[in-house]
Chains A and B, each alone.
Chain A
């Protein structure tokens, strides 16, 4: 395979260019890919699994990415491929946990409580935990649009293009998702 060299100092490469370079052996390109996706993947995993397991699950996502990077052929956007991998690892985690815990109620309890002493940090962690529980109750398309806007920071135009919707339909979906999340957060708040 022809070696795809990175230009030094060029930080405007697309995900796909970094992937090509990684596939031909460039460690620098691989590290850049990692740095680009790690904060987003970590934040999303934080909303989806208990705090104590976030590091492990996130690490597994990137190990899986590393092992299957050669199989990425550019048939979809790399970010789509990456998020599919992330969802798969999160689903694998929940399957393993459900095998340990018989009922959903026990899974909720397993999410646990923050251990930070600082009140602000506790408040934030409480919110993370409440949102975590609330998100679990939402349909997948609601979770996806919330992830795309708040974690990936994609503008509505791009979300609309990704979903194959009009801008108006996307904004409507977003509003309904936030409304549904509000209801679930109130319910989750009452349970704490």
Chain B
């Protein structure tokens, strides 16, 4: 007993689906059912609903003005967001660059200080090639040495500064 009903249901499913396909492809006839099969009245009702639904979905489409207006707003917001992302990316790049630069400065400063101190403590020779004490003997050398120490202190301060 259930089989004929199932068969009718399947037939109705197919008829409704085919009708929907035709309407959505622009081939639907607004005059309604073309079926002569059983359950005409049920099919006719469903076809009418499909036509109304299709017609209403066309009426529910946005106007070109609405589409353009909302597009303008959304695109402007998109551009703002993009600019903000780029600004943040640059800031992050700067933040990751500075520690590396700080380390480079620290090492460079240390190397320079060592070089200058080395030069200062080297044996001092006169034009004849005779040893004449070290470079530290002269006042100028002391000043240079103090300057190097000051430079070193500055570098340490810079690297520890947050």
Q: For this complex, into which size category does the number of interface residues on chain B fall?
A: 35 or more
Judged by DSSP, the binding face of B is helix
- For residue A112, CB closer than 8 A to chain B, the reply is no
**Contact segment of A13-21, A85-93, A94-102, A121-129:** A121-129
Question: Which residues from 67 to 93 on chain B have a C-beta closer than 8 Å to any C-beta of chain A?
Answer: 67, 70-71, 73-75, 77-79, 81-82
Write the chain A residue with the least CB distance to B23.
A150
- For residue A66, CB closer than 8 A to chain B, the reply is yes
- For residue B10, CB closer than 8 A to chain A, the reply is yes
Nearest-CB distance from B9 to chain A (Å)? Answer: 7
A127 touches B74 (CB 8 A): no
- For residue A31, CB closer than 8 A to chain B, the reply is yes
A178 touches B57 (CB 8 A): no
Residues of A within 8 A of B14 (CB): 171
Sampled A-B contacts (6; CB under 8 Å): A31-B71, A55-B70, A174-B20, A175-B13, A178-B16, A179-B42
Which residues of A pack against B, CB within 8 Å? 25, 27, 30-31, 34-35, 38-39, 42-43, 46-47, 55, 58-59, 62-63, 66-67, 121, 124-125, 127-128, 131, 146, 149-151, 153, 155-156, 168, 171-172, 174-175, 178-179, 181-182, 185
